[in-house]
Chain A
Amino acid sequence: MSNRSTRDVPGRRYVAGLAALFAVIWLLLAIRPRHRADWALENALVILAVLVLTLAHRRFALSHLSYTLIFVFLCFQVIGAHYTYSEVPYDAWATALTGRSLNAALGWQRNNFDRIAHFAYGLLLAYPVREVVIRVTGLRGFWGYFLPMNLTISSSASYELIEWGAAVVFGGDLGIAYVGAQGDPWDAQKDMSLAALGAIVATAATAATHRWRSGRHDQLRASSPAG
């Protein structure tokens, strides 16, 4: 695992390609966002994440799978920032593509792009977080699975706290747009539970893959003739 950092050129090329693709998407979505102030607020964390990933790449390179998952999640975030989360026209896209309204089909009363993004957060980032946690702490077994899930909830909780702080500090319309509760009294809990649910799905998938792989490995060993 540790020799990932000394990966050869093709590995670098893949990550550089992802970064370039993200830069193009980011620039396109930076053009005329719905609300410039909300766009700037939502992008603060994106810039920070990209900065950390870039600085850490040489000494602490992640797997390609992790970089890809992070890339997909950051795309969700910049789309949400461009349109403002509560105004992402996913329903119009669904109608244009399939001829049916997604909100009507699922009985949604509000714009649920933020909920989708919170689920995506847990689903897409639990694996990269697990990779970092295991490499840094050496934890195995129960804690190796529990801690990444819990870190997903705690980062989600810190995000809710930041949102709350921002709403109190900025107040008014910008604060409301940033929190994006859209009048839901359980907004914070629902956001966190969706992130937790995504993390549980990702962690279960990781655990199942490991079991399946180690099972196949044991079978191969058992079936190969003893030297």
Chain B
Amino acid sequence: MIQSVLLAGYLVFWGAMGLAPLDSQNWVLSSILPLTFVGALVFGRRSMPLSTASYMLIGGFLAFHTVGAHYTYAQVPVGHWLQGLLGLERNHFDRVTHFAFGLLLTYPLLEVFRRLSGARRLLLFYLAFMTQLGLAGAWEIIESVVAQLTRPDLGVAFLGAQGDPWDAQHDMLAATCGTVVALLLTAGWQRLERQEPGRDPGLSEAAL
């Protein structure tokens, strides 16, 4: 039930954000991966059902990405506001989204690995950590290929990097920080759960 509501909510939000994007080519390109991801979740809802918490976390991350795709990451208003507030050199909404990727998608990944593999405890956390870093790296590869195919003249001045020569490293570091925070939160929750059983069965070690 909640899954259907989340799915409908995402599709409506995605559609609304697609009505008048700042750059329609960028919007189409940015929508390929999330739609594939959502398709895989719908397709795998019986063979790999996730917890409600996981579906909500995934929905939260997809919302970030949809906003970024609508405004193109470099021109998201919230990012501009943050830029003025902290006196930053560039619009950091992309970095925020990279951090959100690590923060919000690590728990669903832990759930998948918990179900499919014999890995537990530290090994399970390590697997999720490395997988997240690898996905962040894969994203940078895809981004650079797209940038070189669509605007080869721009180099690092292209939209995604906004002139930052260490853009790929900064992005991957942001995702890694998000992942570490998510792992620490999960570990903390499991500790609490062990001390006071029944507090929140949704996030207990057994549920994971």
Nearest CB on A from B208, distance (A): 15
Known: A137-B123, A150-B138, A161-B173. A155 touches B130 (CB 8 A): yes
Taking a contact as CB atoms under 8 Å apart, the answer to whether A143 and B117 are in contact is yes
- Decide yes or no whether B127 CB sits under 8 A from chain A: yes
- Decide yes or no whether B168 CB sits under 8 A from chain A: yes
Q: Pick the contact of A157 from B148, B156, B172 — CB < 8 Å?
A: B172
- Decide yes or no whether B155 CB sits under 8 A from chain A: yes
- Decide yes or no whether A17 CB sits under 8 A from chain B: no
In whole angstroms, how far apart are the Cα atoms of A158 and B137 in the complex?
A: 9
B contacts with A: majority SS = helix
In chain A, positions 132-168 with a C-beta closer than 8 Å to chain B are: 136-139, 143, 147, 150-158, 160-161, 164
Taking a contact as CB atoms under 8 Å apart, the answer to whether B134 and A151 are in contact is yes
Which segment, of B85-93, B139-147, B180-188, faces chain A? B139-147
- Decide yes or no whether A192 CB sits under 8 A from chain B: yes
- Decide yes or no whether B133 CB sits under 8 A from chain A: yes
Nearest CB on A from B126, distance (A): 10
Interface-central residue, B116, B137, B166, B172, by most chain A CB under 10 Å: B137
Looking at chain A, what size class is its interface with the partner chain?
Answer: 20 to 34
Taking a contact as CB atoms under 8 Å apart, the answer to whether B148 and A156 are in contact is no
Taking a contact as CB atoms under 8 Å apart, the answer to whether A137 and B127 are in contact is yes
In whole angstroms, how far apart are the Cα atoms of A188 and B167 in the complex?
A: 10
Known: A137-B123, A189-B144, A192-B141. A154 touches B168 (CB 8 A): no
Q: Pick the contact of A151 from B130, B141, B156 — CB < 8 Å?
A: B130
Known: A154-B130, A189-B141. A161 touches B135 (CB 8 A): no
Q: Pick the contact of A158 from B133, B138, B165 — CB < 8 Å?
A: B133
In chain B, positions 103-152 with a C-beta closer than 8 Å to chain A are: 113, 116-119, 123, 127, 130-138, 140-141, 143-145, 148
Taking a contact as CB atoms under 8 Å apart, the answer to whether A138 and B117 are in contact is yes
Taking a contact as CB atoms under 8 Å apart, the answer to whether B155 and A154 are in contact is no
Taking a contact as CB atoms under 8 Å apart, the answer to whether B127 and A153 are in contact is no
Q: B154-182 toward A: CB 8 Å interface, digit per residue (1/0)?
A: 01100000000110110011001000000
Q: Pick the contact of A185 from B130, B136, B137, B155 — CB < 8 Å?
A: B155
Looking at chain B, what size class is its interface with the partner chain?
Answer: 20 to 34
In whole angstroms, how far apart are the Cα atoms of A160 and B170 in the complex?
A: 11
Taking a contact as CB atoms under 8 Å apart, the answer to whether A139 and B117 are in contact is yes
**A108 partner residues in chain B, CB cutoff 8 A:** none
Taking a contact as CB atoms under 8 Å apart, the answer to whether B134 and A164 are in contact is no
Taking a contact as CB atoms under 8 Å apart, the answer to whether B173 and A136 are in contact is no
Interface-central residue, A138, A143, A154, A155, by most chain B CB under 10 Å: A154
Residue on B with the closest CB to A160?
A: B169
Nearest CB on B from A121, distance (A): 13
Taking a contact as CB atoms under 8 Å apart, the answer to whether B140 and A189 are in contact is yes
Q: Pick the contact of A136 from B119, B130, B131 — CB < 8 Å?
A: B119
Residue on B with the closest CB to A168?
A: B166
Known: A137-B127, A161-B169. A153 touches B148 (CB 8 A): no
Taking a contact as CB atoms under 8 Å apart, the answer to whether B117 and A185 are in contact is no
Residue on A with the closest CB to B173?
A: A161
- Decide yes or no whether A112 CB sits under 8 A from chain B: no
In whole angstroms, how far apart are the Cα atoms of A185 and B71 in the complex?
A: 25
**B131 partner residues in chain A, CB cutoff 8 A:** 147, 150-151, 154
Q: A187-210 toward B: CB 8 Å interface, digit per residue (1/0)?
A: 011101100100000000000000
Q: List 20 A-B contacts (CB under 8 A).
A: A136-B118, A136-B119, A143-B116, A150-B134, A153-B141, A154-B136, A155-B130, A156-B137, A157-B134, A157-B136, A157-B140, A164-B166, A185-B155, A188-B169, A189-B141, A189-B168, A190-B144, A192-B141, A193-B144, A196-B138
Chain A positions within 8 Å of B, measured between CB atoms, are: 136-139, 143, 147, 150-158, 160-161, 164, 185-186, 188-190, 192-193, 196
